[in-house]
């Protein structure tokens, strides 16, 4: 079983899904991706999550992020489950759910944690950059549903920090001030960030969000 760490190349795979056969790299194209796993079909927390994910799809689309879910049940089971999700969540599931009955993808991404459950995937989240490297991993226990506002927030942070020499502070939201990278001197930072640099401490310099 593989162990995926930040910065690793995300494993490619081809698998059946609720929308037909999907090759992961082809599906992502040159954009970002978010892959999130679910313990099984017809589970209560997952039903709320997938409905919520569908409602957030437009926000992920704006950020050029392709959504892809996974469950260890088959595509026909997914199709029936999606009917329930659409009904109880008052939405339309508008992204594929990978069918992983043989647990091939779950094993590739180390989604099964034996001390939690021998057969079911935990609630893993992987955010993949356009170069196919893994930029974020969050693992929740099966009993805790994901916060999609937080997933959007971390996408905003990852995309900002990928293209600018900044980091984002605690509880940061898009448009708020950011931290100047420690690798840049204050003098250089003042030349780079035209909106100004505030030196709180020599090691803590703040500047307005360069994309705001």
Residues marked as catalytic: 46
List the one residue out of 10, 69, 15, 66 whose CA is nearest residue 37. Answer: 69
List the one residue out of 6, 74, 69, 61 whose CA is nearest residue 38. Answer: 69
List the one residue out of 207, 176, 181 whose CA is nearest residue 194. Answer: 207
Rounded CA separation 73/53 (Å): 19
Contacts of 46 (CB under 8 A, 6+ apart): 38, 39, 40, 71
- The token pair at 88 is 């109880």
- The token pair at 152 is 């959007």
Rounded CA separation 86/139 (Å): 25
Determine how β-strand 65-71 pairs with β-strand 97-99.
parallel
């Amino acid at each position: 079983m593989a162990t995926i760490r930040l910065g690793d190349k995300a494993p490619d795979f081809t698998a059946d899904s609720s929308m037909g056969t999907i090759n992961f790299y082809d599906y992502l194209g040159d954009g970002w991706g978010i892959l999130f796993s679910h313990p099984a079909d017809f589970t209560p927390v997952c039903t709320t999550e997938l409905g919520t994910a569908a409602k957030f799809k437009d926000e992920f689309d704006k950020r050029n992020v392709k959504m892809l879910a996974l469950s260890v049940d088959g595509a026909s089971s997914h199709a029936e489950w999606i009917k329930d999700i659409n009904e109880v969540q008052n939405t339309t599931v508008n992204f594929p759910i990978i069918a992983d009955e043989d647990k091939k993808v779950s094993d590739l991404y180390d989604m099964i944690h034996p001390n939690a459950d021998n057969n079911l995937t935990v609630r893993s989240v992987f955010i993949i950059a356009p170069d196919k490297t893994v930029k974020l991993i969050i693992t929740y226990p099966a009993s805790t549903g994901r916060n999609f506002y937080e997933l959007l927030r971390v996408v905003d942070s990852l995309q900002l920090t990928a293209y600018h020499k900044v980091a984002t502070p605690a509880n940061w939201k898009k448009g708020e001030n950011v931290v100047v990278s420690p690798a840049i001197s204050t003098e250089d930072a003042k030349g780079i960030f035209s909106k100004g640099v505030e030196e709180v401490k020599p090691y803590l310099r703040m500047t307005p969000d360069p994309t705001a």
